[in-house]
Structure 1
């Protein structure tokens, strides 16, 4: 997705985010305090950070200064039609985005970093009963 090695779909509950779908990242969940994706949750539109080591919100994040050394991030919150934030969709890479990003790749991320993002409707029965299984890993 977006020509990046990592794509994640997460749900947020309490102080953690857990990944209901993931490609390129082995962890099942992360603490929100150490999450780069947590910055997407309050944004009204997709958030694109071209170089995480230069952004004051992320430059001291453990996932930026240590493994997996994230450098580029694009993400958007997943919200219900009533506006409740459930989680996010994000992509990232261990290299910074090109200087001319996104004009040289206009279709790489579809509408990103556009102003509109579809609101998704979810039915969530119990977040506490969902875990990470080895069959869900890629």
Structure 2
């Protein structure tokens, strides 16, 4: 019985260590690849967190950090677009003329970037 107590059991060796290192490295590579996101010019982003919901901060252009799987960025296009308005008027010779007016500063064409997270909260 004394021989069984002092018996040395061989460890997994290099293959086991290499497998553990590969799994840890794979998880680290996945986290590094999915932790950064880029917000292009003319866009804004909000972050949805699985634990607390939508965050209040609106992220501007640039590269930002998120926690993989727990957070997900939602990117919005907030560029100003011209708003075309059609109007019809009569001329002196009693003909109807269509006029098109372009208004780049219409309230429908320029979204409010400070309240981008409100629709996500109300859903």
TM-score normalised to structure 1 length: 0.22
**Larger of the two Rg values belongs to structure:** 2
Higher fraction of strand: 2
TM-score normalised to structure 2 length: 0.23
Choose between structure 1 and 2 for higher RCO, CA contacts under 8 A separated by at least 6 residues. 1
